[in-house]
């Protein structure tokens, strides 16, 4: 008999590859590729597609830990740059720039001196906390701008997606610790939850792209 759990995971893996391509399709269809924020969002989607695609076509020859570390670092740097160019506040822009340069430098220094095996989990947690903080900071800024309608702002959906995904990553890591929490029996539980967080993230990115106006120079 075919195991239902395996079938679901295989289906989710296919969806995980396809879903990041949907925002890219809308970007091309609506001709949004000249907007800097959308360009960075498109790059983040390409990273998501490439990561899952590599896992599927060459799973036995790719070091998943190294690949995950590289993609996560590139992805967080891309989103930090997106936040930086989106804000009009000079102080906040400088803060995002500082966090971008310092975080990338620290991660590169750790991985080049100690490898990816020893500190991968710690670095991933650090990057997740950093992205949660940056996304929350952006959301607070948008909420404080009372003259703006939040749900009409692509940056609101991008920030919300970032906050949700990295928060879910930390939560999933917490509740799938073997021998401590209920979801301890298999790696499939963790992978399934990760896929669901991945899906919601790119659905929110898709909403951001759909509501973006082609002639809009900025998202806020």
Average pLDDT of adjacent 10-residue blocks, the chain of 220 residues: 63 89 94 93 95 76 79 96 93 96 94 84 94 96 81 94 96 75 63 91 96 65
- What span, in angstroms and rounded, lies between the C-alpha atoms of 20 and 184? 29
pLDDT at position 4: 52
User: Would residue 51 count as lying in a domain?
Assistant: yes
pLDDT at position 8: 83
* Claim: this prediction has a pTM higher than 0.85: yes
Kindly report the backbone phi and psi dihedral angles of residue 185, in degrees, each rounded to the nearest multiple of 5, phi listed first: -80, -40
- What span, in angstroms and rounded, lies between the C-alpha atoms of 113 and 204? 37
pLDDT at position 81: 97
User: Would residue 44 count as lying in a domain?
Assistant: yes
The total number of structural domains in the chain stands at 1
pLDDT at position 57: 74
User: Would residue 186 count as lying in a domain?
Assistant: yes
Residue 54 structural domain = 4-210
Question: CA 94 → CA 63, 108, 200, distances in Å?
Answer: 35, 21, 30
User: Would residue 220 count as lying in a domain?
Assistant: no
pLDDT at position 218: 46
CB 87 within 8 A of CB 80: no
Question: CA 203 → CA 93, 111, 199, distances in Å?
Answer: 27, 32, 6
User: Would residue 219 count as lying in a domain?
Assistant: no
- Residue found under tokens 């009009």: 88
pLDDT at position 179: 57
């Amino acid at each position: 008999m075919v195991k239902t759990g395996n079938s679901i995971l295989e289906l989710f893996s296919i969806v995980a590859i396809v879903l990041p391509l949907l925002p890219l399709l809308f970007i091309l269809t609506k001709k949004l590729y000249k907007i800097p924020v959308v360009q960075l969002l498109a790059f983040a989607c390409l990273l998501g597609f490439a990561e899952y695609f590599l896992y599927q076509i060459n799973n036995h020859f790719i070091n998943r830990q190294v690949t995950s570390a590289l993609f996560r670092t590139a992805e967080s740097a891309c989103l930090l740059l997106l936040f930086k160019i989106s804000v009009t506040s000079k102080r906040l822009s400088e803060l995002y720039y500082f966090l971008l340069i310092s975080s990338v430098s620290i991660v590169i220094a750790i991985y080049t001196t100690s490898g990816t095996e020893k500190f991968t989990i710690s670095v991933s947690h650090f990057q997740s906390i950093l992205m949660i903080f940056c996304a929350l900071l952006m959301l607070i800024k948008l909420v404080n701008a009372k003259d703006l309608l939040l749900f009409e702002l692509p940056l609101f959906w991008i920030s919300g997606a970032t906050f949700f995904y990295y928060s879910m990553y930390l939560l999933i890591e917490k509740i799938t610790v073997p021998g401590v929490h209920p979801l301890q029996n298999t790696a499939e539980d963790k992978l399934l939850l990760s896929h669901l967080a991945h899906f919601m993230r790119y659905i929110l990115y898709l909403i951001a792209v759909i509501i973006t106006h082609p002639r809009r120079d900025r998202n806020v």
